[in-house]
Structure 1
Amino acid sequence: MCRDDETIPEDERDALLTIAHGAVVTSGGVSAQRLLITAVEVVLARGLGPTAYGVYALAWRIAQILVRLVTFGSVPALQRYVPAYDEEPGRRATVVGLAYTTTVGFGVAIAAGVWWLSPWIDAVTVEEPAFVPTMRWFGALVVLLGIVMIVSGIFRAVGSARGEVLFNKLLRPGVRLVAAVVALALGYSVIGVAAAIVFGTGLLVVFAVPIAARVTAIRPSVRAARSEARRFYNHAAPVAMSSLGKVFQNRIDVLLVGALLTAVAAGVYNALLVLIAIAWIPLQSFNQLLPPIASDLYSNDRLETLNAIYTSVTRLIVTTVVPFLAVLVVYGRELLALFGPTYVQGYVPLVVYLGGVFVGSAVGATGWLLMMTDHQYARMILDWLLAVLNVVLTYAFILRFGLVGAALGTSLAISVQNGLQVLLLRRFEGLWPFDRTFLTPIAAGVVAGIAMWAVRIGLPGGLAVLPGIVVGVATYLGALHLLGVDPRDRFVVRELAAGYRADLSALRGEPGR
């Protein structure tokens, strides 16, 4: 008797297992990353106090915005061309050399701009004496983090999820946690914390660059940069402009909170963004190895296979993100209370923001697929059209609703952006992921949310969180089983589980079966 998943084509099986395995590896790394990041923010929120933490939070979020720009589109360009040049090591080396050179050049320019503009930023936002030196330290940090992103992008482009996870997901936040703890233990305030983070990240860069060259066998070079630069920047430049547009779509809220509200409000908003980052884990994990695979399939004109993979991966993203959203909606207040009593006021903005997270996750890798199918200019135009709309809406919403308005503006921007990207993919390439199977995880999530809410009613305060999560996950899995799981999803879970069991048996020295 044939299993219903045996009709899945072999090439689709291989791609699904590669992406899913990368997602498992990445999700472990990203989960550890989020744990480290949350630990940093909790330590700093309690160690610095609400006002000083608000200074740190605003400066840090501005630095994070600039980090999105510092590579000038080099990371997506690596994903596009390193796999394409698999048999041309010289061109690979040139692409990597261009990525490093571009990042350092833009990083130095950004750091100089931050040094010059920091007094003005302070004057129009928090007006705190510690902000200017803290922001200037973080301007230097932008250059270093950009280099770490290039290192991670190289590993990702060659299909190594482990290398990307190690440097970008574990060591990068780990260094920040150690630096923050050491600085606070030595009695330093926010300026000393910023300086410690910069020095720690600098040490990471010193080790990361040569390790990446040795492990991937790609030694960066700019000897043939002139012949490769036009193609590289034709892809990187519109992506960089898209990244700048996306800053105004889903990061303008951070700047406007600092400018229109208070330092304490900036700290509260930063705390809820830490939790929001946890909800993005499934999308980030499945998108880890999808771009190079999509680039390869598109280059070989295998659009039918690409659409099948896009559908399966998007459904897996929805299936994994739903329990994250349910936990944050039900237990958001208790999780925000970890930062301190002041931060519980971020619960309603958190729930509003989660609406955008759901939409952004439910459409899958729309942005990456537009770039991997050579529609980066269309994405750039869309990014900027929505950026203008988002600035206007978020400004008006913050004036009217405060922190809730900041979350509402960003959530709407994320939803509209991703919805239009889905339509563009259908229009340009005929890619469309949705069918009725997507309703199964949503229905199971509703059931799990009700179960967790019942636990919350029965147990007081934070005591409900851990047992509630256990009950919620068990209920979710049971509901999925009863409602029925798609054959491709069962195939992925079964094959990965079998592979991991075999790996564990090998580690224990047990004979294979």
Structure 2
Amino acid sequence: MPRSADQSPDDEAVEARLDDALERVAHGAAVSVPSILVQRALTVAFTAVLTNGTSAAAYGVFALARRLQRLFRSLSLGFRSGVSRFVPNADSEAERDAIATFAAVLLLGVASVFGVALFAAAPVVADYAELGGQFETLLGVFALGLPATVWLFTTAELLRGLEAVGPLNVAMRVAFPAAQLAVGAVGALVFDDLVVVAVGVVASMALTGTAVAVWLARERGFRPRLRGPGVREIQRRYLRFTLPLFVGGIATTVQRLGFYPLIVAFLTGVAGGVFSVGVLVGALVRLPLMGVNQFIPPVAAALHDDGHRRALSRLYHVTSRLVLVGVTALAVPAIVYRRPVMALFGPTFVEYAWLLPAFVLAQYGACAAGSVGILLTMTDNQRALLVVNTLITGILVVTAVPLTVFYGLPGLVASYLLMLTLNNGLEVAVLYHLEGLQPFTRRHAYPLFAAVPLTAVALAANVVLSNPVAPVVGTLGGLAAYALALRWLGFTHAERRLAGTLAARYRGLLPT
């Protein structure tokens, strides 16, 4: 691109670095979003099968048991970050195998300890919760299956460390969600037994993880290695790196999953089902951020390490605005058509559709500033991120318990919205204080302006048309109005160059 008259050589270099960084991030999103969409669709279908095949209370009991297992899974996986850190930089296959073997043994060992503890505590938890005998059975199944779930995520982390994008997407975003949907349909619709579903889900995770391990052995030559020269030092180095991350992950886990123990302690199975479905639907709004986040960590880290601060700042501005454009387009229809959306999961959930906007707005607030948490990490501010997470966890504990006790499920949802919004806002303030990076420009208001015609068209269709035509016509028509409004408001030169580059890159993949 020729340099303009008022553009200095330094400005031209910044623009070139920005173009390269944006293309790499956008390519990561382009290749990952389709598989993420498949995964999300299969997960929604699995949930809909269970909620329509059983009562809302029964599904809620199933969801609570599984979320308690997921809490301990998240804690166990605090030790997996060393895989992506050390496997790509291993000096030899022997060192790589030693890292992978120790990581697998450590993760499975911790998961087994947590699983046994959860299994032993299941009768006490079930008695306290008063959710029925099936809750104890389901909790026991998921507790014993905890190592299987950790095994799947351990093998997936090895794929991520090797940058095996294709096998990773096939395993985690297609194979397992499809198998989960199949066992959910069989268990709920054929056997009418959620315990069968739980056993099937655990077995699917174990088999998928084993299939990945076989692929790693055959295609990449991985072999177990616990002994040999230098193995002890490798193990000590891995433990030194991951132990602080495991401790710091406790705060993050409480933020993400600490709501479910509160439901077990103070609320009902129906509340557990509604909260789980609300989180699932709200998380669909995160799709643009998830796509951007696929490749932004190494891109941001490289710009930071090389001292290209202007390019990094511009990258943050552009990607955060693109994320805001995407999440706004997804959030407005989800809020306007909240009743049809919740109707997918059964009539009981429609009664709680008025709570869905809070779940959506919580995710909107978490996405509004783009990849702020990743940028804190990639600029070597992990300790600051740990302080933020710890502070937010403390606020969550102080506020969520009384809100839940006094206001029930609405109070818990309010604490969820408060936690995500505060967390994101505090991370933005800390990143700006430490690195001078902030996401917002004047153009970040454009998606909000463009959301006005989107909302107007969606609401008009909701008034004039009936279900199921209104959500389809209103969403498509609203998004068309949204796109026209954004075009009228205008795009930056960097965004137009990115669109042209991606169009040229993928033109050959489209049928002519």
- The normalised TM-score by structure 1 is 0.90
Q: Secondary structure at the match of 1:391?
A: helix
**Shift in Å at residue 419 of structure 1?**
1.5
CA distances 1:112-149 after superposition (whole Å, capped 9, x unpaired)? 11111111221222431111121121123332222322
**Shift in Å at residue 341 of structure 1?**
1.0
In 2, Cα distance between equivalents of 1:110 and 1:409: 27
**Shift in Å at residue 92 of structure 1?**
4.6
Residue from 166, 172, 196 that aligns with 1:168:
172
Unaligned residue ranges in structure 1 (runs of 5+): 509-513
In 2, Cα distance between equivalents of 1:221 and 1:310: 42
Q: Secondary structure at the match of 1:127?
A: coil
Q: How does 1:343-354 map to 2 (within 5 A)?
A: 343-354=349-360
Letter in 2 for 1:32: V
Partner of 2:287: 281
In 2, Cα distance between equivalents of 1:99 and 1:16: 33
Q: Secondary structure at the match of 1:130?
A: helix
CA distances 1:165-192 after superposition (whole Å, capped 9, x unpaired)? 2222222222211111122344141111
1:396 maps to 2:402: yes
From the superposition, tell whether residues 228 and 398 of structure 1 become closer, same or farther in structure 2 (CA, over 3 Å): same
Does the CA-based 8 Å contact 1:239-1:376 persist in structure 2?
A: no
Partner of 1:129: 133
1:145 maps to 2:149: yes
Partner of 2:63: 57
In 2, Cα distance between equivalents of 1:227 and 1:95: 10
In 1, Cα distance between equivalents of 2:67 and 2:197: 15
Q: What is the aligned-residue RMSD (CA, Å)?
A: 2.6
From the superposition, tell whether residues 101 and 26 of structure 1 become closer, same or farther in structure 2 (CA, over 3 Å): same
Q: Secondary structure at the match of 1:339?
A: coil
- Identity within the alignment, %: 27
- The normalised TM-score by structure 2 is 0.90
Residue from 488, 493, 496 that aligns with 1:482:
488
In 1, Cα distance between equivalents of 2:490 and 2:159: 37
1:195 maps to 2:202: no
1:120 maps to 2:133: no
In 2, Cα distance between equivalents of 1:67 and 1:129: 23
In 2, Cα distance between equivalents of 1:142 and 1:199: 11
Partner of 2:428: 422
Partner of 1:471: 477
Q: Secondary structure at the match of 1:433?
A: coil
Does the CA-based 8 Å contact 2:153-2:209 persist in structure 1?
A: no
Q: Secondary structure at the match of 2:133?
A: coil
In 1, Cα distance between equivalents of 2:236 and 2:423: 29
Partner of 1:255: 261
Partner of 1:239: 245
Letter in 1 for 2:367: S
Does the CA-based 8 Å contact 2:98-2:226 persist in structure 1?
A: yes
Unaligned residue ranges in structure 2 (runs of 5+): none
In 2, Cα distance between equivalents of 1:305 and 1:97: 39
**Shift in Å at residue 464 of structure 1?**
1.1
From the superposition, tell whether residues 308 and 107 of structure 1 become closer, same or farther in structure 2 (CA, over 3 Å): same
Residue from 312, 331, 337 that aligns with 1:306:
312
Residue from 211, 218, 227 that aligns with 2:215:
211
**Shift in Å at residue 212 of structure 1?**
3.8
In 1, Cα distance between equivalents of 2:91 and 2:510: 34
Partner of 1:325: 331
In 1, Cα distance between equivalents of 2:192 and 2:461: 42
Letter in 1 for 2:201: I
In 1, Cα distance between equivalents of 2:80 and 2:309: 25
Does the CA-based 8 Å contact 1:159-1:292 persist in structure 2?
A: no
